Structure 1
Amino acid sequence: MRTLATALALLTLTAVPVAAQGLSKAEKVIDRTVDAEFERSVALLARLVDQNSGTLNLDGVTRVGEMMRAELEPLGFTISWKPMGAVQRAGHLIAVHKGKPGGKRILLIGHLDTVFELSSPFQKFVRTGDKAEGPGAGDDKGGMVVIVSALRAMQAAGTLKGANIEIVLTGDEEDAGSPLSVSRADLIAAGKRADVALDFEGLVIDGGKDMGSIARRSVTDWRITASGKTGHSSLIFTSQFGDGAINELARILAAFRKELPEPNLTFNAGVIAGGARAEIDESGNAKAGGKTNIIAATAVATGDFRTLSVEQTERVRAKMEAIVAAHAPGTDARIEFGEGYPAMAPTEGNKALLTALNGVNRDLGLEEMAPLDPLKRGAGDVSFVAHDVDSLAGLGTYSAGDHAPGETVDLASIRRQAKRAAILVTRLSAGRTARK
């Protein structure tokens, strides 16, 4: 891990108290520019939302990438498109802005795709005052609009010119292509080049207050397949036939509930099927058949578990394997794990970034942001770089009902999030946390 935490701490200690300083002249331009271009930002959001970019709509994801290219190139970014046909996905947009040699390298992360495929009836941007509904209006097209709004404001203030910024907009965040070693290679490489990573997925509000995301939990999929000796139901639990596949699976899931719980861990069985024959396909569709008087031969369950560190993932995985291996009489079972998203642990460097953001908040007259409980948000792309670089998440818009028809974005959140991001990036690029 780099020494950004130490640098930020020293800068915070040696600077004049932030509350007494206010915004610099350039930062005041940023503040005014974001407000002046608000309707332009909303218009961009409408265009992005109206272009369907469900993860599996490869053409739609590519078109959204072209729309973002059109916004970023005039700001001085060099754009490249990384096709992901090898993993049956559209690709990623990577934008690079070269600033002052030797300056801090800042990585901005977002994603082009949404969960709403072409088959979804939820397809259009509809504005009602300061709210707007639409597929991906918050997750993550709102976040991409915040990026553009912040960069435009920096350009107007003259602070973009010296900034070293790399933007990675993945095309498959909602359903990553496999293997992840291919689909996330470019993002991981960008993280290794960076000094700071800022993720523009949605802002979380808890208890009426904006929260800072210094941690995100991992997610690992699992599948359990249990088998048993089939026969007449009158012979269940005998030494000859044993417990049957369904009872074996029930034993395993009950043991998970009893033995696995620990802080920051959640685990879930999402789909289950059992009988004389049973299967669950890759899309989560289950089929099963049998009779009440036949001992089940097969039972299958799929689910996931989420942790806050690599160490916790390994520990929980080992516990699950041990539970599965303790077979009931006359049965067998195996557990398989998917690739999964890693955790973004709450490091000291991440905490220092939130401290820097709270310096921006004070100067903008906004409330301080407390660290968000990582149980209150899911996994995300920033976790692929968090092991290598100090990271902060949740810099996108505030929205409600994400991943479901009716997803609604709070348009006013574009303003405060773009101001926060632009001033934070400006200060980090200058190697400080507050105006001297």
Structure 2
Amino acid sequence: MIAPEETAFLEAIEREPILSRTLEWAAINSGTANLAGLAAMAERLADAFSALPGEVSLLDPSPVEKVGADGRTHTVSTGRHLVLRVRPEAEKRVLLTGHMDTVYPAGHPFQSCDWIDADTLHGPGTADMKGGLSLMLAGLAAYEQAAPTLGYDVMINSDEETGSLSSGALIAELARGKIAALTYEPALPGGIMARARPGSGNFAVVVKGRSAHAGRNPDDGRNALVAAAELAQRLYAARRDGLTVNPARIEGGAPNNTVPDLAVLHFNMRPRSPDDLAAGQAIIDAAIAEVAASHEVSIALHGAFARPPKHVGAPTERLFTLVSQAAADLGDSMSWKDTGGVCDGNNIAACGVPVIDTMGACGGAIHSPDEFMLVSSLDARARLTALVMHRLDRQGAQR
């Protein structure tokens, strides 16, 4: 049941300000590679979150390298990450995370919002996750009216959609010592919360062979493209229950009259468990060694499993019980199920911190021009945030 002291701060949450911010933020293109848009978004977020107690900082990203079509690595620029620290001296502290970037680049045609019906807003990043950021802020503002003692950090990164490579170390640093974490990815269809998640690794393999004339002396060459293709086939054949493999792209090659001496294979692996991750790494290592030997080429591996599998243990079960009870007290039933996607909740869980990572707005068709958000979920989920924070404060750690 909702206690009288909880009713007081929950009644302060109104839908219209949350929606207004969401519309304002969705109008800013903040695709992961749009540095100007990310800078504008970061400034708006810094201004908005400064309404909470504590200190807001915009932190420079860690360096990130990417393999180009020429087989060489180059530095990728990413935006700054926002961090707000509230009551850092508190004995009990929580981490709340979200991301300001979207999957829609500056030149994408999906740039504005419109209404499908009175409750359904169609727009870029509305569900994933500018609505989530706006309701997080509203929930925290309401919680601050409840004589809070709980400390918390808010982290909003600029590169979640590309794997959080420039913010992974920051996430690990902020997760340290936290009793719980809340991440504002959109809920699954029907408002279902995500339970366990697989891990994910993105890799680039640079294959270097030897060029030769395709007519005069082809046997003197070592065909990097053929070696890369065989490597892709070997990796794909190794997929199994608990480990998906997706060879995504081969770059390189040469003119038709030349044996190609360079190819770059890009692929993704998703392990369900730590054992599957270890097996995936062993499969990669073995396939590279076998192909390199049989084709007499050199092969260099780049990338890693940046998202470990998200395990759900007893502490996370207890956190979900607290969250689902809060939802029930607010009049919403809540369930959760395993899902195939990955997010920063994977990284937080790998630090041993219980996390619920679908605290954001309800909606659907994310990562597509059909993305939409249910406006009625904004104030509902803001109340859930405020109530969960209050009960974490009063009930203590979930460990």
Partner of 1:368: 334
Question: How far apart, CA to CA, are the structure 2 residues paired with 1:198 and 1:38?
Answer: 21
Give the aligned CA root-mean-square deviation in angstroms: 3.1
Correspondence for 1:167: 154
- Secondary structure at the aligned position of 2:105 is classed as coil
Q: CA deviation at 1:153?
A: 2.9
The answer to whether structure 1 residue 149 and structure 2 residue 138 are counterparts is yes
Query: Are residues 325 and 86 of structure 1, via their aligned partners in 2, closer, same or farther at CA, if it must alter by over 3 Å?
Result: closer
| CA–CA separation in structure 1 for the residues paired with 2:200 and 2:354 | 20
Identity %: 22
* 1:127-276 paired onto structure 2 within 5 Å: 127-128=115-116, 129-155=118-144, 158-159=145-146, 161-175=148-162, 180=166, 183-205=167-189, 209-226=190-207, 227=209, 244-263=223-242, 265-273=243-251, 275=253
Amino acid in structure 2 at the alignment position of 1:161? P
Q: Name which of 17, 42, 46 aligns with 1:69.
A: 46
Aligned to 2:59, which of 40, 57, 82? 82
* Aligned equivalent of 1:23: 2
Name the counterpart of 1:13.
none
Q: Please give the per-residue CA displacement for 1:152-189, whole angstroms capped at 9, x wherever unaligned.
A: 3324xx326333121111122223676x4xx3333221
Decide whether the 8 Å contact of 2:25 with 2:41 is kept in 1.
yes
CA distance, structure 2, for counterparts of residue 225 and residue 151 of structure 1: 47
CA distance in 2, matches of 1:140, 1:267: 28
1:388-407 alignment runs, 5 A limit: 388=351, 389-407=353-371
Q: Which residue of 1 aligns with 2:343?
A: 380
Cα distance, 1:81–1:193 mapped onto 2, change above 3 Å: farther
Q: For residue 357 of structure 1, what is the aligned residue in structure 2? A: 323
Cα pair 2:19 2:131 within 8 Å, conserved = no
**What is the aligned residue count?**
381
Structure 2 match to 1:57: 34
What's the offset of the Cα at 1:197?
1.0
Deviations 1:241-283 (A, max 9, x none): 79954444343333323333132x22211112464x2xxxxxx
Q: Which amino acid aligns with 2:105?
A: E
Q: How does 1:287-436 map to 2 (within 5 A)?
A: 289-290=255-256, 297-327=261-291, 329-332=294-297, 334=299, 336-343=301-308, 344-370=310-336, 372-375=337-340, 377=341, 379-388=342-351, 389-431=353-395
- CA drift at 1:316: 0.6
DSSP-derived class of the 2:127 partner: coil
- Listed one character per residue, the Cα deviations across residues 289-312 of structure 1 (whole Å, up to 9, x for unaligned) are 425xx7665543211112234443
Alpha-carbon separation, structure 2, partners of 1:416 and 1:127: 20
Question: 3-state SS of the aligned residue for 2:29?
Answer: coil
Give the structure with higher Rg (CA): 1
SS at match of 1:167: strand
Task: Check conservation: 1:228, 1:331, Cα contact below 8 A.
Answer: no
Partner of 1:11: none
Q: Is the CA contact 2:38–2:79 (under 8 Å) kept in the aligned structure 1?
A: yes
Alignment CA distance shift 1:295-1:149 (3 Å): same
Going from structure 1 to structure 2, the CA distance change for 1:306 and 1:32 (only over 3 Å counts) comes to same
1:110 aligns with 2:93: no
Q: Is the 8 A contact 1:134 1:408 kept in 2?
A: yes
Give 3-state SS (helix, strand or coil) of 1:189's partner. helix
Question: C-alpha distance in 2, partners of 1:196/1:233?
Answer: 65
Larger displacement relative to structure 2 (265-274 or 331-340) = 331-340
Question: Is the CA contact (8 Å cut-off) linking 1:147 and 1:418 kept in structure 2?
Answer: yes
1:108, CA displacement in angstroms?
0.4
One-letter amino acid of the structure 2 residue matched with residue 202 of structure 1 = P
TM-score normalised per structure 1: 0.77
